[in-house]
């Protein structure tokens, strides 16, 4: 690897580790070698990782993994790689992979920015999904939001031509910033009819969090951009 890693001082997440349940710890201990990606310095051969040539979809920040598991079950012809920094969610996802017998889902427990920069080959992803990232709603913390112009440029390097970036947030100000940052990058075209937001696609499951928010009258904004 020719590029050395600079110190990264501003992160989009805080490691709120939480306590692993015994079941989550057992899942990590037992299933990690089969379904998880170790830390490393070299590019990952995604076709080799999944044992086939299929569309590759990266989800950044999958939380407890429930919606990612649902997508992997519903889209067996696609391969999914989920990245999450919180180990309890990783353990829960590994348990679900085994429970549902999924062969098209793998997990990485690391910083998504570093994974993309150093381990994902350029033009290798068919879709990147970023659902409900931390909005860092205080103005002084906006610099911590993962969607920033520099990160959008990095995503453009990794997504195939005609591939997609799909984002969703329940924080309107963040949605507006996402829309602005993507619209100002010449590598992406907005897929929305009016160059703003799209209805939730059928492939993105409606979460319990969203259902509760809808009952309370909260909005959710989906954004879909195509790489060109």
Between CA 81 and CA 91, with CA 86 as vertex, the angle to 5 degrees is 70
Beta bridge mates, 37: 108
> How many angstroms separate the Cα of 120 from the Cα of each of 123, 158, 161, 215, 217?
9, 7, 15, 39, 39
* Alpha helix ranges (H) inside 40-171: 46-50, 66-74, 87-100, 112-119, 149-158
Active site residue 79: no
**Alpha-carbon distance 85 to 104, whole Å?**
20
**Alpha-carbon distance 90 to 218, whole Å?**
28
Which of these is catalytic: 111, 134, 170, 222?
A: 134
Q: Do residues 132 and 60 touch, judged by C-beta distance below 8 A?
A: no
The catalytic site residues sit at 134
């Amino acid at each position: 690897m020719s590029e050395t890693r600079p110190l990264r001082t501003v992160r989009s997440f805080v490691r709120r580790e939480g306590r692993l349940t015994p079941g989550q710890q057992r899942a990590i201990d037992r299933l990690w070698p089969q379904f998880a990606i170790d830390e490393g310095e070299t590019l990952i051969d995604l076709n080799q990782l999944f044992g086939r040539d299929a569309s590759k979809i990266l989800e950044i920040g999958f939380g407890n993994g429930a919606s990612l598991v649902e997508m992997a079950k519903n889209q067996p012809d696609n391969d999914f790689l989920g990245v999450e920094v919180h180990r309890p969610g990783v353990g829960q996802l590994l348990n679900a992979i085994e429970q549902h017998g999924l062969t098209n889902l793998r997990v990485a427990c690391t910083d998504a920015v570093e994974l993309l920069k150093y381990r994902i080959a350029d033009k290798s992803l068919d879709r990147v999904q970023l659902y409900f990232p931390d909005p860092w709603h205080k103005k002084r913390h906006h610099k911590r939001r993962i969607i920033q112009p520099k990160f959008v440029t990095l995503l453009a390097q990794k997504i195939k031509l005609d591939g997609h970036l799909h984002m969703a947030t329940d924080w309107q100000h963040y949605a507006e910033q996402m829309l602005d940052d993507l619209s100002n990058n010449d590598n992406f075209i907005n897929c929305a009819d009016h160059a703003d937001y799209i209805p939730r696609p059928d492939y993105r499951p409606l979460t319990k969090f969203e259902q509760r928010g809808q009952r309370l009258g909260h909005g959710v904004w989906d954004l879909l951009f195509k790489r060109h």
